[in-house]
Amino acid sequence: MTTVEAKPTRQLSYVAAVSEAFAQLMREDPDIFLAGEDVALGGSVFGVSRGLLKEFGPERVIDTPISESGIIGLGLGAAATGLRPIVDIMFMDFMGVCMDEIVNQVAKMKYMFGGKAKLPLTIHTMAGGGGSMAAQHSQSLEAWFCHVPGLKVVMPSGPYEAKGLMVAAVRDDNPVIVINNKVSLRMQADVPEELYEIELGRAHVVRPGTNFTIVAIGRMVPESLKAAEMLAADGLDVEVIDPRTLQPFDTATVVESVRKTHRALVAHEAVRFGGIGAEIAAQIQEEAFDYLDAPVGRVGAPFSPVPFSPPLEKEYIPDAGRVAAEVRRILGKQV
């Protein structure tokens, strides 16, 4: 279903946008419930479910045992038998504990039933560094799940996207992994009060430009917009694209941009080697090779665990300066 996006009307934080999406969806559909570690009494460690227990009660906002495998199993069974669960995996790093359920059960069930089974399961998790939470609580592992047929993967870049993509994910009859960013939770932006969907699988041109394309993932969208402003001082007109959905990926919008600008860069917070940026770069060269005036660049984290030390972590995570520097390097190679 194609949905027209609502026009923003007020300022709301990223975390409040997620919480509002949960509440409005649960009011709309009694088959929706939320389950996870500390989502009820604690309102989640990040505050995304604050106030939901009071409104909806313990039958629809459920504190689970500390068992990621059990949480995904609960969501899988509930979705397969007619409910529409949202399950919360507190940190994306913990996805490794429940990979079998996600990769071999959740992702495969519809296929193994010949497409006849519905599995409206939303898996919500938090990713990214920046809070000195160290190597086991700061990773960006989205590429793992983009590789698995049967899963949809979204990474909101701000509050407006966080609400609209969550609504679309929960209403979808297929498994969707929603990956929110911990540091971005404080971000403020215009967010409509009413329920609205952002169509899954469609990218957004955040900043139109004419002579360079940056495809930015999640938290790297605001960083790339800052980089574009920095580069504007050099006379460079940069286009910034937010894919919003990583699987399915909107290749057409990216290719259309590259055919216009002739140069491209992909920026993500995840480790550069084997990251989703490599797949996007490959698709660009397959679909727009004759239009490229330079190799597709990539910006990502170094091949190392995320440091605990704040100065080291700041150095580890890509930012606007690093994105701008890579754009200049690519352009310098053409001189």
Q: Looking at the annotation, which residues are catalytic? A: 68, 137
Do residues 261 and 213 touch, judged by C-beta distance below 8 A? yes
Environment class of 170 (CB within 10 Å of its CB; exposed 0-12, middle 13-18, buried 19+):
buried
Tokens of 120: 């409206």
Mind giving me the DSSP string for 19-35? HHHHHHHHHH-TTEEEE
What is the spatial distance between Cα 234 and Cα 324, in angstroms, rounded to a whole number? 11
- CB proximity list for 191: less than 8 A, separation 6 or greater: 8, 9, 10, 11, 12, 17, 20, 159, 160, 163
Tokens of 97: 């504990």
- Closest by CA position to 12, among listed 132, 272, 187, 256: 187
What is the spatial distance between Cα 210 and Cα 238, in angstroms, rounded to a whole number? 6
Would the CA dihedral through 253, 191, 151, 94 be positive or negative?
Answer: positive
Any idea what DSSP says for residue 104?
Answer: I
Q: 């609580």: which residue's tokens? A: 137
Entry field: residues in the chain:
335
Gyration radius of the chain's alpha carbons? 20
